Structure 1
Amino acid sequence: MGNKEWREFGRTEVIDNTLNPDFVRKFILDYFFEERQNLRFDLYDVDSKSANLSKHDFLGQGYCTLGEVVGSLGSRLEKALGGIPGKKCGTIIVKAEELNNCRESVMMQFCGNKLDKKDFFGKSDPFLVFHRSNEDGTKLLSLICLRTKARLPVKAFTICHKTEVVKNTLNPVWQAFKIPVRALCNGDYDRTIKVEVYDWDRDGSHDFIGEFSTSYRELSRGQSQFNVYEVINAKKKGKKKKYLNSGTVTLLSFLVDIEVTFLDYIKGGTQINFTVAIDFTASNGNPAQPTSLHYMSPYQLNAYAMALKAVGEIIQDYDSDKMFPALGFGAKLPPDGRVSHEFALNGNPQNPYCTGIDGVMEAYYQSLKSVQLYGPTNFSPVINHVARYAASVKDGSQYFVLLIITDGVISDMAQTKESIVNASCLPMSIIIVGVGPAEFDAMVELDGDEIRISSRGRYAERDIVQFVPFRDYIDRTGNHILSMARLAKDVLAEIPDQFLSYMRTRGIKPSPGAAALHAAEPTHPNPDMRGGFFRGRGGSPK
């Protein structure tokens, strides 16, 4: 890749005089399952204090994706370093872990006591508004009005929660509510949290009762004398000498819940099994003609190959053996011309596995040379094929993703609906990519985002289907890499939630054992690495 495609993200500390450095500095990256996040690690032997890398000896570099690191057993990836022809450069070990404060939630409940009466004919209708202070911790900023040159105070707080309104009372008890810690304080336990108390008015001009400030750390003490807050109205306090407060708000309960995430299961060893099924019906056109959707141009990938590569190259990071079943449907097979809706692209029905996505691509190209495109367009056989495997492994150790790439209208809609309803209770998701100019109204129905799919009076237990038309992602400038990245991002975005919905409904917890497998292993099996530092780079093709 060219240098313009990489951006330096950070550098480790320098460790002197060692062949096996154990770098301490950590780097925080945003992780997206649905994106290919490329990483590069450069190793240098430091000869001076200069920040200019050309002043130091280059020792090697390693490439991987963030998905590879996360998808490795225990989220620990070992890679050989290269970059110097004819020389062994040693290895690099990269480990990833999810930040706890990104997945903590807290359940809190508050009550008020002797709040100010704001309604003339009755008591108040109080509610609470929670604000977190801005990243820099400031509470007030000054903006200059261009016309008057006056300084205008601007509150540097962000609203993060509102309680319900409790009607006609000065002693409200609000319902307990749950909020992610990152929303409450962005993981900073000492950041100011401001709570405003209002009296609700029907016209929206709610009356300000008062406010108080706290922090996550203070709240975490739970119900105690430390969490009884005086509600202060600064305007009233400035006018009345004997003003004490406008009532009090008390924390009744504070419970922290660490939510189980997709990464917990992957780190625990759950494997994502990827299967692809390709439409070989005659509506795709003669593969020998440039107008065919299956045409193999020497200059660029066809739509089928682009969809396969875009999705497959991301999912393969979560499959340890990188062996993928590749199926076809809607073709006549040699030697007798039998029509099949579930055939192995590599010609071996007993072992339809291909090595890596490149192996799947090669099997696809070879099939185009040997089978005759025919019909009809039946989905249910390939869905049932994957469902049989998914039905045999329900313990959370494996999850199955089926990618169907098709160009036309489904011929077996009733059977396909039944297959999807049956599969919705299995550890399985289905991605459908429509290629070509056809109308895909039936596919939208299968997606089930608006109306849950049903068959014979039975509704799907979960939404397991994601459909997208490939034409919506074609870049107008002809940049196929960008088109593929956009496609992958959309079709894969729902997989983690679908995965979690299965695990939660089945009560399956992540396995804790995989992360400990490497505990007794030597940290540095590499005798060739010299002292130095790593420069990490992150980027993706533009």
Structure 2
Amino acid sequence: SSLGTSTEEVLKKVPVSSICLLKVLLSCFSFHHFLSSPPFVFLLPQFGRTEVIDNTLNPDFVRKYILDYFFEEKQNLLVSTFGQIEFLLSSYCFLSLLHRGIQGKKCGTIVLSAEELSNCRDSATMQFCANKLDKKDFFGKSDPFMVFYRSNEDGTFTICHKTEVVKNTLNPVWQPFTIPVRALCNGDFDRTIKVEVYDWDRDGSHDFIGDFTTSYRELARGQSQFNVYEVINTKKKMKKKKYVNSGTVTLLSFSVESEFTFLDYIKGGTQINFTVAIDFTASNGNPSQSTSLHYMNPYQLNAYAMALKAVGEIIQDYDSDKMFPALGFGAKLPPDGRVSHEFPLNGNLENPYCNGIEGILEAYHQSLKTVQLYGPTNFAPVVNHVARYSAAVQDGSQYFVLLIITDGVISDMAQTKEAIVNGAKLPMSIIIVGVGQAEFDAMVELDGDDIRISSRGKLAERDIVQVTSCAGTLKYF
């Protein structure tokens, strides 16, 4: 039954990152004087077009677009006017640079302005009580509960919250509840919120007591005379001339808290530092043979290169200099055959940085020609490598992301758990991507989604690890 839908159940259907909304506006200047028609702009995919503005080569369009922004995805937008310009949405959310011109070829300039709708990441906490509700049970009082509905653009209503049932009373006091503002009104403070009051029945045939309407703006006034609502049963009102109401509902308290989003940190100047670590153990197979996961097919990327591009091309847009440390582990290094689990792919111990994702791929290809695949599969050294850097910068100005790409079962589980637990209090996260057909179930233990990992009796302060397969990674990017 839809009446059994709680706020949590509703929100489970909505991707977490879709809570982040951008408002996008467009303007243009210095369009060619020979344009024969008034300018307008298309914004694709599926967002429509601007209005037409007559007699100007410098239109400033009023129509705005509300876009879901998924920081973990590559979102291409196409702006089309008298030519076509492609750009990445993420490039407009980089280090506070949310206003940028896109220079066309001798056709003028399209200016895109984007800002996050901050009220859509707010959460509201409120509490209600009711007085003198209609008595619906023959042998006792009512068992009232309330159902909240958000109004939609087409005039329909969508359930967004249901309170608990308060048994055997006509004057219930419900528990406080918290709901995201977006779920309540989609960020429109004046949008109608409908509240229905029911008497709970065991068989599910709940009796309708009445309803009332309000808005987020009204609720935000808090406890006052404006937030005492008459509960009206329209059918009952039509039948009885002396009908007044079916009781009243009063707002007891209302408060709002803002939840910080990824964009808050980016706009605040937080620098994302991306490090990649690649598995060079012998279980990958001889790189010179086509069956190897490291085989360099001139016509197709191998699994390691695909995983690197899938993740790296997203993250690199949030790194201003796009210089990334690239490490390898599990190989014998020249000239003495020493086994290393923390060697730079470019061979430079003092400066392991590579220029962009293409630079990492080039260094990776060169390493395959010089090192000998060996083992075992140890993660702890590369985790500790990134942890050392993140420990040195804990003022919020930098965040570190380590991508580990591997084909096999981890050999140093205990040491890696300890490194992760220690790193959980630092500004860092770890993405582990499994490639090939090996068994990766053991690595899922490092992902603290369900059970927080621990080491030496100490729990990780937070979950900083995401484990996925190469197929799963490519599905999202």
TM-score range for the pair, normalised by the shorter chain length: 0.7 to 0.9
Counting only pairs closer than 5 Å after superposition, residues 20-419 of structure 1 correspond to structure 2 as 25-42=63-80, 44=82, 62-82=85-105, 93-137=111-155, 156-419=156-419
Change in 2 beyond 3 A, CA 1:161/1:120: same
* Structure 2 counterpart of 1:518: none
**Whole-Å Cα distance in 1 between the matches of residues 233 and 464 of structure 2?**
52
Amino acid of the structure 2 residue aligned with 1:124: S
**How far has the Cα of 1:22 moved from its partner?**
5.8
% same residue: 78
Verify the 8 A CA contact 2:95 2:268 in the aligned structure 1: no
CA RMSD of aligned residues (A): 2.2
Which SS does the other structure have where 1:443 is aligned?
A: helix
Instruction: Check conservation: 2:45, 2:78, Cα contact below 8 A.
Output: no
Deviations 1:37-59 (A, max 9, x none): 12344554xxxxxxxxxxxxx5x
Amino acid corresponding to residue 258 of structure 1 in structure 2: S
Contact 2:95 2:270 in 1 (8 A): no
Secondary structure of residue in 2 paired with 1:28: strand
Give a deviation string over 1:297-325, Cα, whole Å, max 9, x none: 01100000000000000000111111100
Alpha carbons of structure 1 residues 487 and 252: separation in structure 2 relative to 1, 3 Å: closer
Which moved further from structure 2: 128-137 or 411-420?
Answer: 128-137
SS in structure 1 of the partner of residue 377 of structure 2: coil
**Counterparts in 2 of 1:15 and 1:340: CA distance versus 1, 3 Å:** farther
- Number of the residue aligned with 1:150: none
Contact 1:425–1:462 (CA under 8 A) maintained in structure 2: yes
Change (3 A) 1:115 1:40: closer
Q: Which moved more, 1:185-194 or 1:395-404?
A: 185-194
Contact kept in structure 1, 2:280 and 2:373, CA below 8 Å: yes
Measured in 2, the distance between the counterparts of 1:219 and 1:17 equals: 44
Deviation at 1:79, TM superposition (A): 5.0
The Cα of 1:251 is off from its aligned counterpart by 1.7
Deviation by residue 1:458-487 (Cα, 9 ceiling, x = unmatched): 1111111111122456xxxxxxxxxx3x14
Greater shift in the superposed pair: 224-233 or 355-364: 224-233
Deviations 1:43-86 (A, max 9, x none): 54xxxxxxxxxxxxx5xx5432111111243333455545xxxx
User: What SS class does the counterpart of residue 174 from structure 1 fall into?
Assistant: coil
Count residues in correspondence.
433
Distance, in Å, in 1 between the alignment partners of 2:70 and 2:432 is 21
Equivalent position SS for 1:308: helix
C-alpha deviations, 1:203-253, integer Å up to 9, x for none? 333222221222223333333322221112233333333222211111222
Q: Distance in 1 between matches of 2:63 and 2:247?
A: 48
Alpha-carbon distance in structure 1 between the residues aligned to 2:56 and 2:218: 45
- State the shift of 1:15 in Å: 7.9
**Match of 1:419, SS?**
helix
**SS of 1:97's equivalent?**
strand
Residues 436 and 471 in structure 1, CA contact (< 8 A), matched pair in contact too: no
Q: Are 2:455 and 1:455 aligned?
A: yes
Question: Given that residues 197 and 209 in structure 2 are in contact (C-alpha distance below 8 angstroms), is that contact kept between their aligned partners in structure 1?
Answer: yes
SS of aligned partner of 1:118: coil
Amino acid at match of 1:103: R
In the other structure, the counterpart of 1:428 is 428
Deviates more, 1:293-302 or 1:329-338: 329-338
1:319/1:133 Cα in 2 relative to 1: closer, same or farther (>3 Å)?
A: same
Distance of aligned partners of 1:25 and 1:188 in 2 relative to their CA distance in 1, 3 Å threshold: closer
Contact 1:307/1:487 (<8 A) preserved: no
* Unaligned runs of at least 5 residues, structure 1: 1-5, 45-57, 83-87, 138-155, 474-483, 489-542
Distance 1:353 1:443 in 2: 27
Q: Does structure 2 retain, via aligned residues, the 8 Å contact 1:212–1:231?
A: yes
Paired amino acid for 1:36 = K
Against the structure 1 CA distance between its residues 157 and 8, is the aligned structure 2 distance closer, same or farther, given a 3 Å change threshold? closer
- Is the 2:129–2:252 contact (alpha carbons within 8 Å) kept by the matching residues of 1? yes
Q: Deviations over 1:390-443 (max 9, x none)?
A: 111111111111000001111111101111111111111111111111111211
Mapped to 2, the partners of 1:340 and 1:15 lie a distance apart of: 67
**Alignment CA distance shift 1:204-1:43 (3 Å):** closer
Residues 111 and 172 of structure 1 are in contact (CA less than 8 Å); yes or no, is this contact kept in structure 2?
Answer: yes
Partners of 1:37 and 1:28 in 2: CA distance: 14
Residues 181/270 of structure 1: CA separation in 2 closer, same or farther (3 Å cut):
same
Q: Which moves more between the two structures, 94-103 or 319-328?
A: 94-103
SS in structure 1 opposite 2:266? helix
Gaps of 5+ in 2: 1-43
Q: Are 2:71 and 2:262, in contact at CA under 8 Å, matched by a contact in 1?
A: no
1:269 deviates by: 0.8
The answer to whether the 8 Å contact 1:78/1:91 transfers is yes
